[in-house]
């Protein structure tokens, strides 16, 4: 049960922090744009020192501004680490038919080797990706997905897509609740007794979830029509203005990143 | 350290890394920041034609029947939830389905490309699986390549009069494997080794293989169980999702 709880907390926890974040009052468009700029700079510079700076500053903003506790933030950072470890491993190791590099392992048909360059490349990649992930968390922990959809709408993404995004966002939480109840019901009836039973349980929950979701879809459509839905799904948005000092702050930050990259070269 | 000790040490590190960390791998999303900028843009451009086709197919569906909007949205949410569920496994590890094959069989591959892209955005901002700069690459592997192949295999098995359940199994398992191969290829293109892209692809394939191969088989089985449940209890709902219309064609 504990494991089960910890898992479900994934979707709701990031959303929860996004809704209570202090940065929520900042303009959504500003947040998306600055995240895009910082991400691009981080990728283009590809500089380990700049990446470390991004990891630290973004960590600080996430802890202070977004009000996430250190423990939870580290837990969140753990998610991408699995992929990054494996990915960096593949970059660090080279394959060749003869032994090269500072360390090589013979695997009968070929040699696995590590050289200084590949190791540095892997480390650099790891840091860059961690930096980018921290920036992603800055957006995820300060901007609820509905606000993100509104920003995309103001950037002239087709209305159909943003409407779908708004609805999917709402429906995700409804389906999560339903799935949680089904899971609890199944587990309390020994639905996870062994591997085979849990596979059947998973499949049946999946099937029933689809049936229920389609039934709910009909109900929601009726509800929407009875409230005057005619192919338009307007969403009320808070008006938040961008302050001049916020733009200056972003400019300064980018300047510092560029300076760090230039100096360390 | 003698050479043999070195080998043992490295071997044990690789083993520990592969089996200690691997249980937490979430499907095959390329993480934020992992691809260089040029590749992020290139994969985004490659995905655009498929997304445009998907967009028009969705638009057409809505013109036929306005009611489809909530059904489409629910389908998207369903794909999200299915792909965020922890699937049962023997070792107590934590892995997820891609859910793309199921979506393709139920809703058709072109609708899944758009829904898949939206789901990928939500996975990035709600679950931190994948990322915004790698959205194009992830969309191509998980929302386009996987579903289209899975759907193709499913139709092919149907045409050859192979048992439907076996068809569903192969569609899901091979679709999952294909997603994983494409992801490895994408990584290899971005980080080719000195010996070339294909050697690099082999490297990425083998690093992710220990988790992805069993996952593909499990995904196949689970998809079959879901389909059996649906066929038993939900004929009308399947019709509204477009599944049975596809059958008649």
Q: With CA atoms as reference, report the closest residue to A56 among A127, A143, A158, A106.
A: A127
pLDDT, position B184: 87
Tell if the CB–CB gap between A44 and B24 is shorter than 8 Å.
Answer: no
Q: Name the residue with higher pLDDT: B207 or B165.
A: B165
Average pLDDT over residues B118-141: 88
pLDDT, position B96: 73
CA–CA separation, B221 vs A126, rounded Å?
35
CA dist list (Å): B244 to A154, A167, B116, B153: 38, 25, 21, 17
Residue of B nearest to A17 (CA): B126
pLDDT at B45 > cutoff 80: yes
Q: With CA atoms as reference, report the closest residue to B109 among B155, B164, B46.
A: B155
Q: Is A207 exposed, middle or buried (0-12, 13-18, 19+ CB in 10 A)?
A: buried
pLDDT at B213 > cutoff 50: yes
The strand pairing partners of B86, in sequence order, are: B96
Tell if the CB–CB gap between B81 and A84 is shorter than 8 Å.
Answer: no
β-pair type (A93-96, A103-107)? unpaired
pTM of the model: 0.85
pLDDT at B241 > cutoff 50: yes
DSSP state of B247: H
Tell if the CB–CB gap between B76 and A164 is shorter than 8 Å.
Answer: yes
CA dist list (Å): A229 to A123, A126, A226, B70: 53, 48, 7, 12
Q: With CA atoms as reference, report the closest residue to A44 among B129, B30, B40.
A: B40
How many beta-carbon contacts under 8 Å exist across A and B?
Answer: 274
Torsion of CA A177, A182, A186, A192, to 10 degrees: -60
Find the length of chain B. 249
pLDDT along chain A (265 residues), means of 10: 43 81 86 91 89 92 87 83 76 70 66 77 88 90 86 86 89 90 90 83 86 86 88 78 89 92 85
Give yes or no for a contact between B112 and B104, defined as CB atoms under 8 angstroms apart. Answer: yes
CA–CA separation, A231 vs B191, rounded Å?
46
pLDDT, position A71: 86
Give yes or no for a contact between A215 and B233, defined as CB atoms under 8 angstroms apart. Answer: no
Residue B85 to chain A, least CA–CA distance (Å): 8
ipTM, interface predicted TM-score of the complex: 0.85
| CA distance from start to end of chain B | 68
pLDDT, position A34: 92
Return the minimum-mean-pLDDT range out of A7-16, B74-83, B113-122.
A7-16
Task: Tell me which chain B residues have a C-beta less than 8 angstroms from the C-beta of A106.
Answer: 7
Provide the token pair at A117. 């360059």
pLDDT, position B242: 60
The strand pairing partners of A106, in sequence order, are: A111
pLDDT at B217 > cutoff 50: yes
Q: Which of A46, A72, A214 to mutate to test the interface with B (most CBs of B within 10 A)?
A: A214
pLDDT, position A100: 66
pLDDT, position A188: 92
Give yes or no for a contact between B38 and A135, defined as CB atoms under 8 angstroms apart. Answer: no
Q: Name the residue with higher pLDDT: B196 or B73.
A: B73
pLDDT, position B152: 92
Torsion of CA B126, B127, B132, B138, to 10 degrees: -130
Tens of pLDDT, residues A193-229:
888 888 888 888 888 888 888 888 888 889 989 988 8
CB contact set of B203 (below 8 Å; sequence gap of 6+) = A90, A93, A95, B188, B193
Give yes or no for a contact between B189 and B204, defined as CB atoms under 8 angstroms apart. Answer: no
Task: Tell me which chain A residues have a C-beta less than 8 angstroms from the C-beta of B199.
Answer: 95
By Cβ distance, the residue of B73, B224, B237 closest to A211 is B237
CA–CA separation, A163 vs B73, rounded Å?
9
Torsion of CA B37, B41, B46, B52, to 10 degrees: 150
pLDDT, position A2: 38
pLDDT, position A204: 85
Name the phi and psi angles at B158, rounded to 5.
-65, -45
Sheet holding A110-114, edge to edge: A93-96, A110-114, A103-107
By Cβ distance, the residue of B62, B203, B233 closest to A93 is B203
CA–CA separation, B147 vs A224, rounded Å?
31
By Cβ distance, the residue of B71, B77, B233 closest to A172 is B77
pLDDT at B102 > cutoff 70: yes
Q: Which of A217, A223, A227 to mutate to test the interface with B (most CBs of B within 10 A)?
A: A217
Tell if the CB–CB gap between A211 and B29 is shorter than 8 Å.
Answer: no
Average pLDDT over residues B3-29: 59
Angle, CA of B110, B116 and B119, to the nearest 5°? 155
pLDDT, position B21: 45
Quickly list H helices, chain A: 2-20, 28-45, 48-64, 70-92, 116-140, 145-154, 159-188, 195-226, 244-264
pLDDT, position A253: 92
CA–CA separation, A181 vs A203, rounded Å?
15
By Cβ distance, the residue of A76, A86, A211 closest to B128 is A76
pLDDT, position A116: 78
pLDDT, position A1: 35
Q: Taking the alpha carbons of B87, B89, B92, B95 in that order, is the dihedral positive or negative? A: negative
Q: Which of B81, B130, B183, B235 to mutate to test the interface with A (most CBs of A within 10 A)?
A: B81
pLDDT, position B94: 59
| Mean pLDDT taken over chain B | 80
């Amino acid at each position: 049960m504990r494991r089960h709880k910890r898992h479900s907390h994934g979707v709701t926890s990031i959303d929860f922090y996004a809704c209570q974040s202090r940065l929520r009052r900042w303009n959504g468009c500003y947040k998306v744009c600055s995240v895009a700029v910082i991400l691009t700079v981080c990728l283009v510079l590809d500089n380990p020192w700049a990446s470390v700076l991004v990891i630290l500053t973004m960590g600080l903003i996430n802890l202070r501004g977004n009000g996430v506790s250190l423990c939870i933030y580290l837990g969140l950072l753990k998610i991408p680490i699995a992929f990054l470890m494996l990915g960096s491993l593949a970059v660090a190791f080279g394959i060749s038919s003869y032994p090269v590099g500072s360390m090589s392992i013979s695997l009968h048909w070929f040699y696995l080797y590590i050289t200084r360059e590949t190791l540095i490349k892997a480390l650099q990649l790891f840091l860059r990706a961690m930096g980018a992930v921290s920036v992603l968390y800055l957006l995820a922990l300060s901007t609820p997905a509905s606000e993100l959809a509104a920003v995309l709408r103001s950037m002239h993404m087709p209305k159909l897509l943003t409407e779908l995004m708004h609805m999917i966002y709402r429906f995700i939480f409804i389906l999560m609740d339903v799935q949680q109840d089904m899971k609890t019901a199944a587990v309390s009836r020994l639905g996870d007794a062994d591997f085979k039973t849990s596979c059947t349980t998973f499949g049946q929950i999946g099937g029933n979830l689809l049936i229920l979701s389609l039934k709910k879809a009909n109900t929601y459509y009726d509800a929407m029509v009875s409230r005057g839905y005619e192919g338009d799904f307007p969403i009320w948005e808070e008006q938040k203005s961008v302050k001049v000092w916020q733009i200056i702050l972003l400019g300064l930050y980018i300047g510092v990143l560029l300076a760090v990259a230039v100096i360390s070269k | 350290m003698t050479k043999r000790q070195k080998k043992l040490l490295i071997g044990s590190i690789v083993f520990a890394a592969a089996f200690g960390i691997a249980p937490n791998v979430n499907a095959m999303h390329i993480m934020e920041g992992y691809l260089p900028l040029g590749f992020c843009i290139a994969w985004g451009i490659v995905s655009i034609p498929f997304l445009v086709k998907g967009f028009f197919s969705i638009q057409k569906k809505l013109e036929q029947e306005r009611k489809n909007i909530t059904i489409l949205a629910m389908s998207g949410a369903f794909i999200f939830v299915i792909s965020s569920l922890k699937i049962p496994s023997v070792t107590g590890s934590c892995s997820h389905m891609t859910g793309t094959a199921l979506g393709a069989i139920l809703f058709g591959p072109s609708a899944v490309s758009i829904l898949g892209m939206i789901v990928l955005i939500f996975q990035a901002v709600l679950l931190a699986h994948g990322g915004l700069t790698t959205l194009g690459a992830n969309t191509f592997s998980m929302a386009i390549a996987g579903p289209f192949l899975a759907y193709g295999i499913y139709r092919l098995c149907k045409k050859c009069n192979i048992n439907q359940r076996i068809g569903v199994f192969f569609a899901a398992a091979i679709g999952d494997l294909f997603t994983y191969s494409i992801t490895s290829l994408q990584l290899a293109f971005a980080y080719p080794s000195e010996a070339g892209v294909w050697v690099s692809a082999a490297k990425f394939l083998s690093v992710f293989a220990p988790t992805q191969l069993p996952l593909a088989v499990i995904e196949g089985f689970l998809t079959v169980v879901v389909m059996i449940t649906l066929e038993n209890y939900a004929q009308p709902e399947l019709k509204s999702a477009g599944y049975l219309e596809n059958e008649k064609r």
